[in-house]
Amino acid sequence: CPELHTQTREESGKKKLKTLTAAETEKRPSNSVRVRAPVLPPAPPQTSLPRPLSAVAATASTRHSLPPMAMATAMGATAATYGAPIPAPAPAAFSPHRAAGGRRVRAVTARPRPLFSPRAVSDSRNSQTCLDPDASTSVLGIILGGGAGTRLYPLTKKRAKPAVPLGANYRLIDIPVSNCLNSNVSKIYVLTQFNSASLNRHLSRAYGNNIGGYKNDGFVEVLAAQQSPENPDWFQGTADAVRQYLWLFEEHNVMEFLILAGDHLYRMDYQKFIQAHRETDADITVAALPMDEERATAFGLMKIDDEGRIVEFSEKPKGEKLKAMMVDTTILGLDSERAKELPYIASMGIYVFSKDAMLRLLRDNFPSANDFGSEVIPGATEIGMRVQAYLYDGYWEDIGTIEAFYNANLGITKKPVPDFSFYDRSAPIYTQSRYLPPSKVLNADVTDSVIGEGCVINHCTINHSVVGLRSCISEGAVIEDSLLMGADYYETENDKQVLSESGGIPIGIGKNAHIRKAIIDKNARIGENVKIINVDDIQEASRESDGYFIKSGIVTVIKDALIPSGTVI
């Protein structure tokens, strides 16, 4: 079978050859591999002695000669890469002779090999990966738990940002962990600092016993901020958090560190990301999101050269500085029409670092830098390191504010296609197994909504909303454009009876309550005839003593809050 050599980097820095069959090569898109194939010497003169067919095939395989059809496909891929016309394949040189048994056999003479060069390194469903060594043994995933999450307050009052519930059944941390597992990255550390009890509990229950095995040393482990004689301070930023645990990370025999954020919503195959990093021989690869001018002012932008190498950074530019950051995004794989609509690329805060590059940067070059995005990576470009951009052209949302969190959750109810789908069979989102019963809907009107596990919905109306697990909604209630996070536990009938006799309010939504454009955090007790509708369209208000906040016009009821019967917000 004809073979084609591709090159990948080993940890030692030496080059190792990996073979792909010609059939596999034909399946690869023109934008997925950069290969400079050696020009092989011509075949020796053919002797007149007959040889068996197997010997001829072995010789052709040894010389790495592509058959005419494979050669035509390869030339077409190369031409598509550079936009050149596809030349017709030249006729192969054949030397006929007879093999044993009298059959006529033709030997294929070797010819110069075509040059493959990637025009794009985009995250496409059609592209294939050929990581060698495999990601499970050569990549270490590091998920950063984030800061105090003040912009998400009060959702972060009692939990870390990655532990905030998402999509009825999940938590934000499930997104990067699931992406890692689906990408065959099975060694994962999660760095935490603020309000980490809920996050630690979820990770231990969801992934503590499900990753490792007899032949699999995978894990998901929490690394909390700590003080030591060398580092008396807590984490000061993303780079500082990694630096403080660098002694642990370098013990792993891996080639790359995959740096991820714990509060982003997206689905991505990191194997393609890592493959692009290796093929371009980069020290650092930054995931980049194409965007238009309107959104670009809110992000840190990057400028690239003709090879996709990052040459300049600019944090939230405006005016002429913004215009100066325009790039030709066709270099990274966008078609010309979309490239005109999306002429900027923003950093997603997701990086692949070569192991030796990370050690040099954090220990030698920038020993006091605290942040990757604003200090370490711009500094790496200045000292001449190869920093590449990798285009991710898909749904991505930074869950950094109440408004972004609200929109991301309600986006999963969008029809006919949600912004983010939890129904992808090839790349599922994992979470804790809670063994809850199916939700029960009793004579209710539910439209355009998502209902979590274990809910009891009784004679009410729900429209365009997300209802979290264990939610109890009483008769006559109306829920519109809202996110209910549900509850951590059920109250028994006896508990409810005791509360009723003492004038208390059970967990859930009371009778005839009306909730519109609101977020109801877990274990909230909403009394009867309560109206949370922001009738005066107030945009900002802090009423923590009353159990709620208003941010961007969205009412957020605090976890474990009690809203008395008859209250109007």
pLDDT, tens digit, 9 for 90 and up, residues 488-510: 999 998 998 899 889 899 999 99
The C-alpha atoms of residue 182 and residue 281 are separated, in whole angstroms, by 24
Q: Which two tokens stand for residue 448?
A: 């355009």
* Residue 426 φ then ψ, to 5°: -80, -20
| Strand residues in 196-262 grouped as ranges (E) | 219-224, 256-261
Write out the H or E segment, with its range, that includes residue 242: helix 238-244
The C-alpha atoms of residue 416 and residue 451 are separated, in whole angstroms, by 17
Between 225 and 45, residue with greater pLDDT:
225
The C-alpha atoms of residue 437 and residue 456 are separated, in whole angstroms, by 10
What pLDDT, on the 0 to 100 scale, is given for residue 212?
Answer: 54
What pLDDT, on the 0 to 100 scale, is given for residue 237?
Answer: 86
Write out the H or E segment, with its range, that includes residue 180: helix 174-182
| pLDDT tens per residue, range 208-245 | 765 655 556 789 999 888 777 777 777 888 998 999 99
Q: Which two tokens stand for residue 446?
A: 């539910």
**Domain map (residue ranges) of the chain:** 135-409, 435-563
Of the candidates 276, 314, 311, the one whose C-alpha atom is nearest the C-alpha of residue 296 is 314
List all residues 6 or more positions away from 87 whose beta carbon is below 8 Å from its beta carbon.
Answer: 75, 79
The C-alpha atoms of residue 175 and residue 265 are separated, in whole angstroms, by 6
What pLDDT, on the 0 to 100 scale, is given for residue 215?
Answer: 55
Please check the confidence at residue 101 and state whether its pLDDT lies above 90: no
Q: Which two tokens stand for residue 423?
A: 């129904």
3-state DSSP of 409-475 = HHHHHCCCCCCCCCCCCCCCCCCCCCCCCCCEEECCEEECCEECCCCEEECCEEECCEECCCCEECC
Superfamily of domain 135-409: Spore Coat Polysaccharide Biosynthesis Protein SpsA; Chain A (3.90.550.10)
3-state DSSP of 271-326 = HHHHHHHHHCCCCEEEEEEEECHHHHCCCEEEEECCCCEEEEEEECCCCHHHHCCC
* Claim: this prediction has a pTM higher than 0.85: no
The C-alpha atoms of residue 451 and residue 457 are separated, in whole angstroms, by 10
435-563 is classed CATH 2.160.10.10: yes
- 276 falls in which pLDDT band (50, 70, 90)? very high
pLDDT > 70: percent of the chain = 76
What pLDDT, on the 0 to 100 scale, is given for residue 44?
Answer: 47
Of the candidates 355, 349, 352, 330, the one whose C-alpha atom is nearest the C-alpha of residue 341 is 330
Burial class (CB in 10 A: 0-12, 13-18, 19+), 109: middle
Mean pLDDT of the chain: 80
Which residues face 563 on adjacent strands?
Answer: 526
The C-alpha atoms of residue 57 and residue 1 are separated, in whole angstroms, by 8
The C-alpha atoms of residue 524 and residue 518 are separated, in whole angstroms, by 13
Q: Average pLDDT, stretch 107-132?
A: 48
Burial class (CB in 10 A: 0-12, 13-18, 19+), 247: exposed
Question: What CA–CA distances, in Å, run from 104 to 34, 50, 375?
Answer: 38, 10, 68
- 113 falls in which pLDDT band (50, 70, 90)? very low
Which residues face 447 on adjacent strands?
Answer: 463
Between 76 and 467, residue with greater pLDDT:
467
Give residue 188's Cα distance to chain centre.
14
What pLDDT, on the 0 to 100 scale, is given for residue 148?
Answer: 78
The C-alpha atoms of residue 202 and residue 220 are separated, in whole angstroms, by 11
| pLDDT tens per residue, range 303-319 | 999 999 999 998 888 88
What pLDDT, on the 0 to 100 scale, is given for residue 33?
Answer: 39
Look at 69-78, 102-111, 135-144, 422-431 and tell me which has the smallest mean pLDDT: 69-78
Amino acid at 250: E
Question: What CA–CA distances, in Å, run from 497 to 103, 286, 450, 492?
Answer: 92, 57, 30, 9
